[in-house]
Amino acid sequence: MPLHLSLPMMKEPEFFESRENLFSHFSQYIRLSPALQADLADKIAIVHFRKGDTVHDTSRVCRESYFIRQGLLRTYYLKDGKEISEYFSAEAEWVNSPRSFMQQQLDIYSIDALENTEAYRLKVADLGYLFDHYPEMERYARLSMGSLFGHLIERITSLRFTSATEKYAHFCQAYAGLHHRIPLGMVASYLGIAQETLSRIRAR
């Protein structure tokens, strides 16, 4: 997959209009002071990924986190040369390679775009600056990580289901409103079943 290299973008009127979506998200968890809003606007950039682009791969330490404004990203790893989908992220969710981003070391996870995607990019160094200057950002980080932890919990829960039918039913519940946007083969790899088996289940 091609590695998409996003170029720095000027903060044109479109950015200042669209950033309100992100500010609204932050405001669900913390109070945004004018100073914090200004620093967020300065440090966040809008990036675009085409369907099929690699957002992050295992050859690099993850130094950027992405808040999806529109689109769909997949986090996956390789096992015996095959891609295993770990979880999927869509609008209003942050995405990174968690261990790599937090510990600044290489990890097993890659991220790719399943749809044309527009996202806000925040670099780890800028996040550190925000933590140092705005204590409320640490509260935001703790509260907003629920989405990521939710995906990981659902992943663990899905392993407890024994039959393929049960696994698929749980997947549809966990990704309600989203599962129809995910390619069948990637759903099958997430569930750990053959694509042919999944096709039979869906046909019932």
**pLDDT category of residue 59 using cuts at 50, 70 and 90:** very high
Phi, psi of 25 (to 5 degrees): -65, -50
3-class DSSP state of 44: coil
Q: Which residues contact 3 (CB under 8 A, 6 or more apart)?
A: 53, 54, 57
- The total number of residues written for the chain in this structure: 204
At 20 the pLDDT is: 79
Tokens of 60: 């690099």
Tell me the pLDDT tens digit for each residue of 75-110.
Answer: 999 999 999 999 999 998 999 998 999 899 999 999
- CATH number of the domain located at residue range(s) 13-144 in this protein: 2.60.120.10
Distance CA 75, CA 84 (A): 9
At 155 the pLDDT is: 72
How many CA atoms are closer than 13 Å to the CA of 11, on its beta-carbon side? 13
- Which 3-state string (H, E, C) describes 124-189? HHHHHHHHHHCCHHHHHHHHHCHHHHHHHHHHHHHCCCCCHHHHHHHHHHHCCCCHHHCCHHHHHH
Mean pLDDT computed over every residue of the chain? 87
At 2 the pLDDT is: 45
**pLDDT category of residue 147 using cuts at 50, 70 and 90:** low
At 121 the pLDDT is: 96
Q: Is the pLDDT of residue 43 over 70?
A: yes
> What proportion of the chain, given as a percentage, has pLDDT over 70?
86
pTM of this prediction? 0.85
